[in-house]
Amino acid sequence: MAEPQVPTAAEPQDLLRIIRSPDASRELKAFAARGLLPLESQDRFRALLAVTEDADPDVGPAAVETLRATPPDDVARFLDEADPTEEELDSVSRHLDDHVVLERVIRNRAVSDSTLFRLAGSVTGAPQEALIVNQVRLLRKPALIDALLENPGLAADGRRRLLELREEFFEKEERRREQERQRAEEAVRRASQEAAGIVFDEAEEAEGSAGGGGEAAEGQAGEEFNQANLAQVFRRIANMNVKERMSLAQKGTKEERRILIADANKIVSMAVLKCESLTPAEVETFCSMRHIATEIFQEIAGTREWLKRPKIQLALVHNPAVPLAITLPLIKYLNMRDLRNITRDRNLPEGVRTTAQKILFEKRG
């Protein structure tokens, strides 16, 4: 019997649309499941993912087998470059267990809460770490914290951070509400005294003036801050609780993010890196800062979109506060002039200068 012919189409989207429809022929889906459709690699992979859950015993299982036979690097490239949908991300996560691939799935902004919830109970290593550091998603979906805590493979450090997060944002909520109630009662009491003509002492008056100044500063949250009012911004942020600083990290200005990236609470500083308004230029500035947590450098180095930028690579290498595990692999990407400058910089660790000297010698040869 002759081998069936591979179908053709004038436009790739035509084939993809047909495959995803209920009316797709069994033969067409079978070709998609075997990765044989005449499409570019990304579209061919999309077609494959579209049939992994097909009920036909000759289609779904074959598609899963083809998916598992695909090199993890090829899958990771698709996840990085093809803007996968949440359905495609879910399909990949259901059938592959490669840590590089699962980490890409978890870090993708399009991944659904349901996919993360399913992975939270089983992932280990780098994928688990990627989920734990996504504080914004964990706070938005607290069930993810519970799922991670029930994961038998949860690392000890991860468990500690999750318990701290739950304590800070959820278990303390009742106490916060009680404090707010007491403050409200105190405000009512003071208002009543003022109406009766009672004069407060100077300390109370100063406290009231400080509160009014804070309100004025909050009204400027969306404006650019110059050096003259930087101290005022610092004071306002210092008076915020963790939840308020988390919110500001997501919605504030560049100047506010530059302050919050060095926050003593790593939950807040990590939230800055999740801000949708964050620019590569800001990340480059963070890479030059010496007083921020090591975890910030690790998160930046673990984000491919940032690390592929030469200015960020150079800023990390030039910063003596960045761990050698991050800087040494980056030196080989620098140009000759930057390598020469690094070999002469006595502020950098000996290991960085020696490695730069070696690579410079190799490039000259």
Q: Which residues contact 8 (CB under 8 A, 6 or more apart)?
A: 38
At 175 the pLDDT is 61
> Of 178-182, 201-205, 229-233, 248-252, where does mean pLDDT reach its minimum?
201-205
Residues 6+ apart with CB under 8 A from 291: 262, 321
CA distance linking residue 86 with residue 280, whole number of Å: 25
Q: What is the mean pLDDT of residues 309-322?
A: 94
Place of tokens 């911004």: 233
pLDDT at 158 over 60: yes
pLDDT, one tens digit per residue, over 173-219 is 556 656 656 655 555 455 444 444 433 343 344 444 444 444 444 44
3-class DSSP assignment, residue 262: coil
What are the pLDDT digits (tens) for 112-142? 999 999 999 999 999 999 999 888 888 888 8
| Of 41, 46, 7, 8, nearest in space to 27 by CA | 7
Q: Is 200 helix (H, G, I), strand (E, B) or coil?
A: coil
Q: Concatenate the DSSP letters of all residues of 122-133 into one string.
A: T--HHHHHHHHT
Q: Is the dihedral of CA 126, 128, 129, 135 positive or negative?
A: positive
Give the separation between CA 91 and CA 86, rounded to whole angstroms: 9
Residue 203 is predicted with a pLDDT of: 39
Closest CA to 229 of 243, 242, 213: 213
Check whether 59 has a pLDDT greater than 90: yes
Torsion sign across C-alpha atoms 199, 204, 209, 215: negative
pLDDT score recorded for residue 197: 44
